[in-house]
Amino acid sequence: MRKILSNKQAIVLFMLPTMLLIAVFVVIPIAMSVYYSLLDWDGIGAGIFVGLRNYKEMFLDTRFVNSVKNSLLYAALSLCLQIPFSLFLAIVVANVSRGEKFYRTTFFIPVIISSVVIGQLWQKIYNGDYGLLNAVLGMFGFAGQDWLGQESTALMAAFIPNLWQYVGYHMLIMYAGIKSISPDICEAAKIDGANRVQIAFKITIPLLKPILQVCVTFSLIGALKIFDLIYVLTGGGPFFSTEVPTIYMYKTVFDSFNYGYGSAISIFVILECLLLTVVLRTFFREKEEA
CATH topology of domain 63-289: MetI-like fold (1.10.3720)
Q: What is the mean pLDDT of the chain?
A: 90
Q: Report domain extents, the chain.
A: 63-289
**C-alpha closest to that of 219 among 277, 281, 160, 287:** 277
95 pLDDT higher than 90:
no
Give the span between the Cα atoms of 246 and 265, in whole angstroms: 8
pLDDT confidence of residue 44: 84
d(CA 3, CA 10): 10
What are 64-75's pLDDT values in tens digits? 999 999 999 999
Distance CA 274, CA 126 (A): 34
Task: Report the percentage of the chain scoring pLDDT > 90.
Answer: 63
| Cα 275 from Cα 35, distance rounded (Å) | 21
Amino acid at 261: Y
Q: Does residue 256 surpass a pLDDT of 80?
A: yes
Question: What's the predicted TM-score (pTM) here?
Answer: 0.89
| Mean pLDDT along residues 10-31 | 90
290: helix, coil or strand? Answer: coil
